[in-house]
Amino acid sequence: MATMLEKSIISALFRRLRVGGVRVIDWTGGEATYGPGEPYLTLHIHHPRAIRAMMRSLTLGFGESYMKGDIDIDGDIRRLGELVSQNQAAFSHPALNRLPHVGRRNTKRRQRKFVAHHYDLGNDFYRLWLDKTMTYSCAYFKSPSDALEAAQAQKLAHTLAKLQLKPGMRLLDIGSGWGQLLIAAVQAYDVTGHGITLSQEQYDLSRQKIKDLGLEDKITIELINYQDLAARDLTFDRVISVGMYEHVGRGNHRQYFKAVHKLLEPGGISLLHTITNELETKSDPWIDKYIFPGGYIPSIRETVHVMPEFDLRLQDFENLRLHYALTLDEWLKRYDENSAAIIAKYGTSFYRMWRLYLAGSITGFRYDNLSLSQFVMTKGLVNDAPLTRDFLYHP
């Protein structure tokens, strides 16, 4: 009886497809194809408990079932997210997601723990699939055929150009990662840099990289929360944050911009590079539990809405959405190429978890509501800014 019930749920769910198609093979060997088009992929559902889990919470149930091996995917895993994005009405049925999700509250006290969950998995893990500089953010592709290494170098050059750096300036990087942005800034513009992070692994490796390059007199790295840094009596000519704002947490955006205002010299430039959403939505329960605890993807409008409260004037905005899809394509390719090493060290469930995360992120940027936004702002009114963007493309 239970088996018949779960089979009927599968049929009710996938019969609602209006674009594309999917082939489903269940735990009894039963097979059916749904949707008006050719199947994008095949789902093997090995146990009825996967369906019960998805009825409680669709994304959490599916994600955990895939991690455990109760569900397998034959074909390009990226096409699953494409199918979902193209058939959102089918996957937002009231019978699904019975358990409302309340994201983990992101407080200052918890932020180091949340950051460590994602970034302190071990530098060796990220080395397997990032480029050699360990740049873990959206690259900048002048052509879709660009190598990842070239695209990441182009991203650093393009982003730093927006700061209009001059020799001797003091640059703060909030969420400095493995240090490559500060290294590039010092080498290209002869500035001094200070980076802050909450990840012990990033802190250790970035300091070692700086020492190996002989840049210890030009770059300092500190293991500290941005709010604690803002409590000190110090300022910088430029402030940048790349891939950190997503960790600030819902409801904490004013604290971030308050800190930028405090740390930035009057007339100084700040750049915020962050993933943004089209609308204000709750965090995905699977992502919140397994990937980015306490994280939140803000909308563009709620980000811009806060800036004027702290006299931060938006000067420029650029959306690099497709650049991030291309970046993630390359990360997933490299991740899969190193599957044996990842499984040997972290286990199959972990490998599947991150694989699903990377593939789902590709979908978010290519077919859904995610963007990669770069906001450039000044502290106060600035009248001597360049009149055009020529300086970015014709230095």
Single-letter amino acid code for the residue at 29: G
**Range in 2-16, 137-151, 290-304 with the lowest mean pLDDT:** 2-16
Structural contact between residues 112 and 225, judged by C-beta atoms closer than 8 angstroms: yes
Phi-psi region of 376 (alpha: psi -120 to 50; beta: other; left: phi over 0): beta
The torsion defined by the Cα of 94, 97, 99 and 101, in degrees rounded to 10, comes to -120
Q: Which pLDDT score is estimated for 136? A: 96
Q: Which pLDDT score is estimated for 283? A: 87
- The reported pTM is 0.94
Structure tokens given for 48: 């009825």
Q: How large is the average pLDDT for residues 151-157?
A: 98
Q: How large is the average pLDDT for residues 4-20?
A: 89
Nearest to 229 by CA among 301, 163, 176: 176
Phi-psi region of 294 (alpha: psi -120 to 50; beta: other; left: phi over 0): left
Q: Which pLDDT score is estimated for 93? A: 63
Q: Which pLDDT score is estimated for 282? A: 86
Nearest to 158 by CA among 384, 328, 374: 374
**Sole residue written with tokens 């979908």:** 363
Beta-carbon contacts of 308 under 8 Å, excluding residues fewer than 6 positions away, are none
Structural contact between residues 40 and 73, judged by C-beta atoms closer than 8 angstroms: no
Q: Which pLDDT score is estimated for 107? A: 66
Q: Which pLDDT score is estimated for 1? A: 46
The neighbouring-strand residues paired with 242 are 273
Distance, CA of 7 to CA of 48 (rounded, Å): 8
Beta-carbon contacts of 209 under 8 Å, excluding residues fewer than 6 positions away, are 178, 179, 180, 183
Length of the chain: 395
pLDDT above 70: residue 43: yes
Question: Quick one: which H or E segment has residue 43?
Answer: strand 42-45
Q: Which pLDDT score is estimated for 389? A: 94
pLDDT above 50: residue 44: yes
Percent of the chain with pLDDT over 90: 83
Question: Quick one: which H or E segment has residue 315?
Answer: strand 312-319
Percent of the chain with pLDDT over 70: 95
Single-letter amino acid code for the residue at 207: R
Beta-carbon contacts of 324 under 8 Å, excluding residues fewer than 6 positions away, are 138, 275, 361, 365, 370, 372
What are the tens digits of pLDDT across the range 183-230? 999 999 999 999 999 999 999 999 999 999 999 999 999 999 999 999
Structural contact between residues 263 and 172, judged by C-beta atoms closer than 8 angstroms: yes
What are the tens digits of pLDDT across the range 283-314? 899 999 999 888 899 999 999 999 999 999 99
Distance, CA of 386 to CA of 395 (rounded, Å): 12
pLDDT above 70: residue 124: yes
Q: Which pLDDT score is estimated for 103? A: 57
* Per-residue pLDDT band at 98 (split at 50, 70, 90): low
Select the highest-mean-pLDDT range: 127-136, 245-254, 282-291: 127-136
Distances from the Cα of 130 to the Cα of 133, 241, 244, 328, 335, angstroms: 8, 19, 17, 10, 9
pLDDT above 70: residue 57: yes
Q: What strands lie across the sheet with 370-379, from one edge to the other?
A: 219-223, 192-197, 170-174, 236-242, 264-277, 370-379, 312-319
